Homo-oligomer: A and B are copies of this chain.
C-alpha cells in the first residue's frame, strides 16, 4: 500500500477525524504548528460576539456578577482534568511568564534556607529569565542543569527546581512522576512548565505530587494568540502559597477595598489583577472542543501521527535528522540545513510548521485537527526541498 493510500485509510479510520470540522481551518492548509498557536475552534467567534454584544454591551458592569468575576477559577476547573488536578487547584489569568514568576517566588518561599534554584538547561527562554529575576529578588542563585542530571544535582542546597515537561526544541517528553519523586527525595520544591504538554499528553499532577505548575493555553488548548495561562497549586500548599503579585483580584475580600493584603483561601490567591475577560472567555469557548474527547484519545492520535510521520520521513527523506527522541511529547523536530529558509518554503507550499534556532524544523501534531494526510504532505514537501 502506498503512503498516500495508507494516509487515506488512517484518516478514514481515525476516531477523532470528525473533530477537525470544529475548527476554522483552510482545508488546503496542513497546519502543523499547533504546538505554537492552536487553530481556532469555530465556537470562539460566536462566543466573542455574544460576550461583547450581550454581556459587555447589554449588561455592562453587571456582567462582573454574572459570570465574569469567577471565570478564572471556573475555567481553571475545566482545565484541571487535562492536567490530573482536582477542582479548586487551577486558576487562569496572566501570561505564562507572569505565572512563572508567581510560581518560582512562591516555591522559594515554601522552602526557606536553601540558596539555589535549578532550571533545566533546555528550558524555554522565558523560564530561565524569570528564574534569574526571581532569584535576584529572593537572594538565590540559579544553575542550569540538563534534565537527565537534575536528580543528581539536587541536594540540600536546592530550594526549587523548574522543569519543562516537554522540551520545546526537541519535543522530548520528560518523566514527570519519576523526576518529581527524585527531586522531592532531595527536599526540593518542584515547578513544572506544562506549556508543550497540556492538551497533548496526560499530565498526572496530583498523582505525581507535583508542587506547582504553569501552563499555556494557546498551543494545544487553542485559546487564541496569547490567551491567558494557568497556574496549578498542590492542595497541600494552597494555604501556604505566598506569591508576589498580590493584586486586588486575589484578595480575600476584593470589593471590601481594605488597605492590607490578605490572600483569599484556595487557588484564588493565585489571581492578580482584573481578569482579562475577552481573552478568558475565548479560551472558555475553545475548551468546548474537549466535551466529547479525552486526553488519552488525543495522546493516542498524536503518537500515531508521529509514528506515521517518522515512517514517511524514513521512506521519502531518508537520512533526515530527526532530533526528537522516542519519549516524545507532541511534535517531531527535524534538524535541517538553513532551517529558517526551509520552513519559509514549506509554509509557501501550504505546510505550516515553524523554526527554532539554530537549525530545527518543528512539526506539531495536534490530534484534534491534524490529518495523517497532513504529515505525509509535510514529508513530501520536505523531500522536495532536497
Interface segment out of the listed A56-64, A73-81, A325-333: A56-64
A220 to chain B, nearest CB (A): 14
In the bound complex, do residue A40 and residue B56 qualify as a contact, i.e. CB atoms below 8 Å apart? yes
Closest to A50 in B: B45
Is A227's beta carbon under 8 Å from chain B? Answer: yes
In the bound complex, do residue B246 and residue A129 qualify as a contact, i.e. CB atoms below 8 Å apart? yes
Is A107's beta carbon under 8 Å from chain B? Answer: no
Give chain B residues whose Cβ lies under 8 Å from the Cβ of A276: 95, 225-228, 276, 279
Interface string of A275-290 (1 = CB under 8 A from B): 1111110100000000
In the bound complex, do residue B60 and residue A52 qualify as a contact, i.e. CB atoms below 8 Å apart? no
Chain copies in complex:
2
Interface segment out of the listed A153-161, A311-319, A351-359, A378-386: A351-359
Give chain B residues whose Cβ lies under 8 Å from the Cβ of A280: 226
Give chain B residues whose Cβ lies under 8 Å from the Cβ of A40: 52-53, 56-57
In the bound complex, do residue B44 and residue A52 qualify as a contact, i.e. CB atoms below 8 Å apart? yes
Is A8's beta carbon under 8 Å from chain B? Answer: no
A217 to chain B, nearest CB (A): 11
Closest to A55 in B: B225
Contacts A36-B61, A60-B31 hold; do A129 and B52 have CB atoms under 8 A apart? Answer: no
Contacts A97-B248, A246-B133 hold; do A354 and B277 have CB atoms under 8 A apart? Answer: no
Give chain B residues whose Cβ lies under 8 Å from the Cβ of A62: 347, 352
Give chain A's interface residues, CB within 8 Å of chain B. 24-26, 29, 31, 33, 36-37, 39-40, 44-45, 48-49, 52-53, 56-58, 60-64, 68, 94-98, 101, 105, 124-126, 128-130, 132-133, 136-138, 144, 218, 224-229, 244-249, 251, 255-261, 272-280, 282, 347, 352, 354, 356-357
CB<8 Å pairs between A and B, sample of 5: A64-B225, A98-B272, A133-B261, A137-B138, A278-B278
